Amino acid sequence: MIKKEKILLSVTAALSSLFLAFIAGFAYYSIYSLENKPAVYKHQLYRLKSGYTSTAVLEDFVKNPFERFVDRIYLHFHDEYNSIQKGDYLVDGKKTLIDIYKDMVTGNVVEKIYPTFAIVEGTNLQRIIEKAKLRKHSDKSFFKNVKKPQDYMSAILAEKPELLEFIGGPQKTLEGLISPATYPMYENDPFSHMFKRGMIRQLRYLKQEWENRDENKFIKTPYEALILASLIEKETFLDEERSKVSAVFLNRLKKNMRLQTDPSVMYGVSPVFSGKLTKNHLKADSPYNTYSRYGLPPTPICMPSEKSIKAALHPANIEALYFVAKDVSPKQGHAFTATLQDHNKAVSDYRKKVRAYKERIAKSIDENGDKIITDRDDGIASLNDTADKAETLASGNTDTK
């Protein structure tokens, strides 16, 4: 009997050892798989939702309940994998589950590539809407909301009441209020998201610069600063000139001179104005005709850049009252002058350069044939038109740009 008991105990001990060895081996395999074997999931992206824990992730990746039990014990002793962040994570067939946990801890999410929409510096609201209509993105609420700008602005800034108060409450137009930038077109309401982000960004920057503005009693409100910035944006694309253009407009306001800025007149004719600005346009009175009316136009005329906003609030310390193009190339910038006599001379210099340019083009036409006439004729007419207007406005008129 004693012999049988000894045999039974030996068999039991052997089986227990085998079982423990099996458990140990299985535990080792589970941990080895966790750390070394590529994780398997039904999709290439794993979306970690808000509130998910590291053990909840195990439920999705590890299907064997015994293996999952071992992995839970492992995670219990590795709390560095407990602080995971929501987002989309890559399961590429190479990363282990521990690698994916590390991504979740650091927030190494997969950035989805969305199509984009560019709001270019100096473009206006109407052109943005027309461009948006050509896109195949669904956002019916956006096109409905922009027709009621005051309600839409209030809705956008409902969670930012300090910005709404700062800009003087809901405005009659969204012009000037959207920051020029390239925006992602998300699947749901892409243009609504774009305008919300763009408006908050524009007003935050304006508020920042307004609080640090140079002393100036002629720009009384942040909205007036935005209007001035839009004029600067349309007059020059050269960064080094923006503060000088700002100074010219402010100097003219100080002297009660009309601003006489063409882009504002064009906007008054039509936000999508194209073609040549004529004398009839300049004579036709409108709230945006800065040749017939004093002061700033009633609203911005485009979406100004941050650089133009900064220039509006930090003008150059110059006495200039006029500016005219230096050369036929816009890259050469403008000549800034403080007296009408100097301005007339700058206009004369410009006209000489226009004539010389036209002569070079005419010579090129003679040498290369009639086809070039078609290609270049509009350019010559435009330059001639600009020069004629510059001289007409300057001669004998002390209230001109």
Classify 114 as helix, strand or coil. coil
Q: How far apart are CA 26 and CA 66, in angstroms?
A: 9
Same domain, 313 and 328: no
Q: 32, 80, 31, 81: which is closest to 52 by C-alpha? A: 81
| pTM for the full predicted model | 0.70
Tell me what pLDDT residue 43 has. Answer: 84
Q: Is residue 21 part of a domain?
A: no
Q: Is residue 188 part of a domain?
A: yes
CA nearest 23: which of 63, 61, 58, 67?
67
Distance CA(194)–CA(115), nearest Å, equals 12
Q: pLDDT, tens digit, for every residue of 248-261? A: 999 999 999 999 99
User: How many structural domains does the chain have?
Assistant: 3
pLDDT computed for residue 372 by the predictor: 40
Of 285, 319, 353, which one is at a domain's C-terminal end?
319
**273, 297: one domain:** yes
Q: What is the pLDDT of residue 138?
A: 81
Half-sphere exposure of 210 (CA within 13 A, CB side): 19
Q: Are 129 and 86 in contact (CB under 8 A)?
A: no
Of residues 85, 15, 18, 80, the one with CA closest to residue 47: 85
Domain shared by 378 and 246, yes or no:
no
Domain limits for position 63: 30-106
Of the residues 319, 338, 367, which one is the last residue of a structural domain? 319
Residues 391, 339 within the same domain: yes
Contacts of 10 (CB under 8 A, 6+ apart): none
pLDDT at position 23, please?
63
* Cα torsion through 191, 193, 198, 199, rounded to 10: 100
Domain boundary among 319, 337, 365: 319
User: If residue 265 lies in a helix (H) or strand (E), which one and from where to where?
Assistant: helix 262-269
SS3 state of residue 138: coil
- Residue 110 backbone phi and psi in degrees, to 5: -80, 125
* pLDDT tens across the length of the chain (401 residues): 566 666 655 555 555 555 555 566 666 777 888 889 898 888 888 888 888 888 889 888 988 888 888 888 888 888 888 889 988 899 988 999 899 999 989 888 887 778 899 999 999 999 999 999 998 888 889 999 999 999 999 999 999 999 999 999 999 999 999 999 999 888 788 999 999 999 999 999 999 999 999 999 899 999 999 999 999 999 999 999 999 999 999 999 999 999 999 999 999 999 999 889 999 999 999 999 999 999 999 999 999 999 999 999 999 999 999 999 999 888 899 999 999 999 999 999 999 999 988 888 887 776 665 544 333 333 433 444 444 444 434 333 434 44
End-to-end CA distance of the chain: 122
In this structure, are 133 and 150 located in the same domain?
Answer: yes
For residues 303 and 127, what is the distance between their CA atoms, to the nearest angstrom? 11
Q: Is residue 140 part of a domain?
A: yes
CA distances from 268 to 288, 303, 360 (A): 5, 16, 36
Rounded Cα–Cα distance for residues 35 and 37 (Å): 6
Residue 261 lies in a domain: yes
Residues 204 and 301 in one domain: yes
The Cβ of residue 284 has, within 10 Å, a number of other Cβ atoms equal to 14
Question: Roughly what angle, to the nearest 10 degrees, separates helices 370-394 and 340-368?
Answer: 170
Model pLDDT for residues 335-373, shown as the tens digit of each residue: 999 999 999 999 999 999 999 888 888 877 766 655 443
Angle at 183 between CA 314 and CA 104, to 5 degrees: 115
Q: Do 222 and 289 touch, CB atoms closer than 8 A?
A: no
